[in-house]
Structure 1
Amino acid sequence: MRIFLYPSSHPYDSRQELDFWHVEQLVHSNLQMSNLKVKDPHQADVAFIPFPSMCIFAGYCYDHSIDVARPTRLQAARAHLHVLRKFSQVAREVTRSSAWLRGTPHVLVFGQGRGPHNGYLWRFYRQFLKRCILLCVEARPFGDHSAFDAKKDIVIPPFIPWQREMDEVRNSDIQREHLFHFRGRCWGPIRPRLKPLLADVPNSIFSEESPYSMGGEGRPVDTNHVLAYFREVRSSVFGLCPAGWTPWTRRFYESIQLGTIPVSIPGTFTPPFESILDYEGAMLNLALPDFPKLEKKLKSFDTDAGFEKLAALRPHLVYHQRPQAEDAFELVLRALEKKLVSGLTA
């Protein structure tokens, strides 16, 4: 597989290296180092468009002191317009290129929903996105339109920061004192329903309070807080991963890296590389009707087998500054090649 990279007009933003959507920048930088890259678009099997939509959105928010997670309607509208203006320039150049006109498959990576989901780019560039293979950290958000198409698009892992710290905590001697762990914001259609069911379960942690400064979204960071939070997760057998506004959560990936069995709630989350990796026995999917049975289901789960499965999955969901064998970036390329082959032979 040979890959042509369009020139990027968006400078690397180091402020976003603690954000999960940093994957948009990281995939691009890994591609720049790949031996699959070609300079001549006529030699390419696929063309990559370096447009980090969420990084651009977040960068605008950081520049204007806007809360990325909860901007006002006016702030969000201005940030979306900023992204759309930049995307219109890129789309205009791409659609005039020989690779696009010749029908070469094009690829975009989206580290959050402000690309193919929730209508921001989808509403105005629906046909453009339909012609591209989308690499997305989520397959589809709740109750909204999406350009994501499982037949052509690929779910990829987000970027999860603090890998060295997670390795340190995972390899330390920490007893499993808690049955499950969740700490964070209780918003969206699912999390508020869990709170009355789980807040008082003994030997477990379910709390909206987050005393840790973890960074990300422009928030302050304290490495000691990061380690303390990871130790808290590691002390639990299960890591609850309830959906917020979308089916996925970074807790799923943190749980795997820390050796805590992830519990997907309500079980509609599509993990990355399902056609390549085996998640059977490494995670638990919990549907809405099973909420009251959560504690019983956790206690009946084969945790020993689950921990072994997590160890096998772990290296395949991690990105590096330089690509490594069998890491997340290599699996992105493998999944992309499978899509290209299936498209050619369908």
Structure 2
Amino acid sequence: MSLDIKRPNSNKTKKKMGFIVKMQLHNNNNRGGSNKRNLFFVFFRSYYRWILWFFLSLYFFTSYFAGDQSSPSSTTTTRLLSNHNPSSSLPSRALIESSAIVTPGIFSGMKIYIYDLPARFNVDWVTKSDRCATHLFAAEVAIHRALLSDSSVRTLDPEEADFFFVPVYVSCNFSTSNGFPSLSHARSLLGSAVDFLSDQYPFWNRTQGSDHVFVASHDFGACFHAMEDMAIEEGIPEFMKKSIILQTFGVNYKHPCQEAEHVVIPPYIPPESVQRAMDRAPANGRRDIWAFFRGKMEVNPKNISGRFYSKGVRTAILKKYGGRRRFYLNRHRFAGYRSEIVRSVFCLCPLGWAPWSPRLVESAVLGCVPVVIADGIKLPFSETVRWPEISLTVAEKDVKNLRKILEHVAVTNLSVIQRNLREPAFKRALLYNVPMKEGDATWHILEALWRKLDRSYRRSRVLSE
């Protein structure tokens, strides 16, 4: 008795399938178009894996080459926008959503008309005092000059403009008593400028100024007062409420002094003063000051009609850490204090009358870790600049624990923060240059305006036609 063991015939299935196909083709001649669908189904069932593989391969192939068209400038901007973890190789969400990133070339589609106002609104003030173009409120001058120098965005034809820049310098009226800018004339000066525009041009009247841009680089922005309660009481001038305001004041909660379309910008620090400080930095790069602050600190905060300077925060710092070995605190002015910043590890940036301070920019661009002590502050260009990676935020109530907080950072992630601070793109974003440079403060202002192009009267007319 013999037992024949036959191996499975690998062609059997194929033959059977071929038979089915042939039979269906034969029957199609008899049954008409309905069996054509049956034939397609059988074919797809047999080869769907190959079809799926083909389309997936095509997708990844085209995606690879489409995503490989980045330029050096867009790479720099991507790194600035990215909220990535430096120790991780995974792409961040901002990197994945790269279509939302603005590159310099995109500004070529946006046009800004700069009003040529009479000299009494701007030039006369600079002529009267050199400080007008160099003090901490001088962003109004720097932005004006930078826009005048940028031929790619500026237009001399107001009919093709998306935005209209109103160059009025209101921070150059320095008080003779204390040397600080007096804002008592701000509302009348701006109101006079708007009256002039309304009379000489048609562009303000057609939108009530919604496509017009002002600078308000003061304690509480367009409220034009150094005391918060008075600023709130006076509010933003009615004629400016529909416009776009570039202001140093910003908070993360509802506030009457930012109840207008606005962009939070950095205070002005002369780039040449930063360079001079860097040139005086220790050759070995050593930072021998651990925690630094120089500025107004009251032994007892002055009570001005119930208002305490710095909400008492600076006084608390002085009382708690004044005389401590690791804290270098000084209440007296010193013209070369930036040379102290380049020697410091941590630079304290407590609020004054307003939440923001020029120390924030000075510390960051000189490589000292900014320690922001101002509850609810909104930092400049916070939508794009990675502030959490290059600064510390300490609640006002926690200043009593400041030493412990800084010591903890020093032994955990200080080196990472310092490395992030050395990133050129970040430093560039906080300084104003004339002419404007890609990625600097004025460039980021243009980026912010580009995102507000829906306010452009010209574009709305084009879309409606």
- Distance in 1 of aligned mates of 2:350 and 2:116: 38
Change (3 A) 1:114 1:262: closer
Matched, 1:147 2:263: no
Change (3 A) 1:248 1:124: closer
Q: Which residue of 2 aligns with 1:261?
A: 369
Partner SS, residue 346 of structure 2: strand
Higher percent of residues as helix: 2
Of 304, 319, 324, the match for 1:201: 324
Partner SS, residue 261 of structure 2: coil
Partner SS, residue 185 of structure 1: coil
1:120 Cα deviation after fit: 6.6
Q: Does structure 1 retain, via aligned residues, the 8 Å contact 2:428–2:439? A: yes
- Distance in 2 of aligned mates of 1:122 and 1:89: 22
User: Match for 2:133: what amino acid?
Assistant: E
Partner SS, residue 298 of structure 1: helix
Q: Which residue of 1 aligns with 2:164?
A: 47
- Distance in 2 of aligned mates of 1:208 and 1:112: 23
1:237 Cα deviation after fit: 0.9
- Distance in 2 of aligned mates of 1:340 and 1:171: 46
Change (3 A) 1:192 1:141: farther
- Distance in 2 of aligned mates of 1:322 and 1:43: 23
Matched, 1:286 2:394: yes
Partner SS, residue 19 of structure 1: coil
TM-score between the two structures when normalised by the length of structure 2: 0.62
- Distance in 2 of aligned mates of 1:121 and 1:203: 39
Residues 53-86 of structure 1: per-residue CA shift (max 9 Å, x gap): 112x33xx3xxx33233x9xxxx5xx61x33332
User: Match for 1:135: what amino acid?
Assistant: L
User: Match for 2:142: what amino acid?
Assistant: L
Between structure 1 and structure 2, the one with the greater Rg is 2
Partner SS, residue 206 of structure 1: strand
- Distance in 2 of aligned mates of 1:171 and 1:102: 57
Q: Does structure 2 retain, via aligned residues, the 8 Å contact 1:178–1:236? A: yes
- Distance in 2 of aligned mates of 1:99 and 1:248: 34
TM-score between the two structures when normalised by the length of structure 1: 0.82
Q: Does structure 2 retain, via aligned residues, the 8 Å contact 1:115–1:121? A: no
1:342 Cα deviation after fit: 8.5
Q: Does structure 1 retain, via aligned residues, the 8 Å contact 2:219–2:353? A: no
Change (3 A) 1:27 1:299: same
Matched, 1:102 2:211: no
Partner SS, residue 116 of structure 1: helix
Partner SS, residue 364 of structure 2: helix
Q: Does structure 2 retain, via aligned residues, the 8 Å contact 1:108–1:135? A: yes
Ranges in structure 1 where 5+ consecutive residues have no aligned partner: 215-225
Comparing 117-126 with 14-23, greater Cα deviation is found at 117-126
Of 269, 285, 290, the match for 1:160: 269
Give the RMSD, CA atoms, in angstroms. Answer: 2.8
1:102 Cα deviation after fit: 2.3
- Distance in 1 of aligned mates of 2:235 and 2:383: 31
1:324 Cα deviation after fit: 1.0
Change (3 A) 1:4 1:257: same
User: Match for 1:188: what amino acid?
Assistant: S
Q: Which residue of 2 aligns with 1:332?
A: 445
Length, aligned pairs only: 314
- Distance in 1 of aligned mates of 2:189 and 2:455: 32
Residues 171-213 of structure 1: per-residue CA shift (max 9 Å, x gap): 7434222221001102431212221122133222112133x2x
- Distance in 2 of aligned mates of 1:305 and 1:159: 27
Matched, 1:241 2:241: no
Change (3 A) 1:121 1:296: closer
Partner SS, residue 280 of structure 1: helix
Residues 277-323 of structure 1: per-residue CA shift (max 9 Å, x gap): 11122101111232222111111221111112212211111111211
> What percentage of residue pairs aligned between the two structures are identical?
24
Ranges in structure 2 where 5+ consecutive residues have no aligned partner: 1-109, 298-308, 461-465
User: Match for 2:141: what amino acid?
Assistant: Q
Change (3 A) 1:99 1:121: farther
- Distance in 1 of aligned mates of 2:205 and 2:188: 23
- Distance in 2 of aligned mates of 1:340 and 1:68: 39
Comparing 11-20 with 282-291, greater Cα deviation is found at 11-20
